[in-house]
Structure 1
Amino acid sequence: MKTSTILTALGSILAFNTQAVNAGCYSGGDPWPNKDQAAQFVWDACYGSQGMFSGQFSPGQTKSMCPRSGQLGLLFEVQNQWDQTLDLGNDDCYTRLKNEIYGCDRGGESTVSKWRFRADPGNC
């Protein structure tokens, strides 16, 4: 009886401290022509003072960019799924989009704490 109570309490504590994450890689489409270059585009967009993904996001707002790597456009998107205006942290922006580049050969998307991140080579 005590063991199950302790495990239930521990499970509740762990569930409270976890983030909701939904992620997946694309199985089709173009592969990344140059992952390091793609990561540099994302770095500039997340950390640059005039970066595409810097500043405030209105509720539901999606910001996107499509830099070119050779002949291929690279689609990057960030969406605020909260019901309030927020500023995404630079580190979160870069880390989440970089994960889609280096973790998915053909791009992918994830939603973490009501922020959606998408990286899709050849889709713009």
Structure 2
Amino acid sequence: MYFATTFVSLFLLAGSASAACHGSGANWPGAYNVMLSLAENECRRGAFTGVFAPGETKYKCVQYGSGSKLEFSVQNLNDRASFDLGDDDCVKEFRRDIFDCSRGGYHDQSGWHFSADPNDGTC
């Protein structure tokens, strides 16, 4: 029984998520589906492809028009193992931070930290 309880607890912990929206700052400067499309480009063909070393953070700043920048980052929270983040998982997680948070957001999911943050300025 102890093993089963421990296994279930570890399984639930591994799949748990905590989320937060930015309470101030710039709003997304365009339609949410356009913002997600820009993040998706980085998930499928850009900054967030390939293997993440233990603890590694990958960051991408996307210029949107002349006065807005979109800052995206993903971190492998595992401090011992390298992992390759699946493209579909990457897009799904950024969708949460874009569609659920008008000023962007950040959250942890299954050993990854995601952040999507619109800001004024240039990259």
Same structural fold, with TM-score higher than 0.5 when normalized by the shorter chain: yes
Q: CA deviation at 1:37?
A: 2.0
Q: Runs in 1 of length 4+ with deviation above 2 angstroms?
A: 10-18
Matched, 1:88 2:85: yes
Matched, 1:66 2:61: yes
Relative to the length of structure 1, the TM-score reads: 0.82
Structure ID, larger Rg:
1
User: C-alpha deviations, 1:16-61, integer Å up to 9, x for none?
Assistant: 542121111111010001122211111111112xx11000000111
Write the letter of the residue equivalent to 1:27. G
Q: Distance in 1 between matches of 2:87 and 2:110?
A: 15
Q: Distance in 2 between matches of 1:15 and 1:114?
A: 15
SS at match of 2:20: strand
User: C-alpha deviations, 1:39-88, integer Å up to 9, x for none?
Assistant: 1111111112xx11000000111001111122101000000011211101
What value does the CA root-mean-square deviation take over the aligned residues?
2.2
Q: Which runs of 5+ in 1 are unaligned?
A: 1-9
Relative to the length of structure 2, the TM-score reads: 0.83
Matched, 1:25 2:21: yes
Aligned to 1:57: 52
Give the aligned length: 116
Q: Which runs of 5+ in 2 are unaligned?
A: none
Aligned ranges for residues 1-124 of structure 1 at < 5 Å?
A: 15-18=9-12, 19-34=15-30, 35-48=32-45, 51-70=46-65, 71-82=67-78, 83-122=80-119
Q: Distance in 1 between matches of 2:93 and 2:115?
A: 9
**Percent of aligned pairs with the same amino acid:** 35
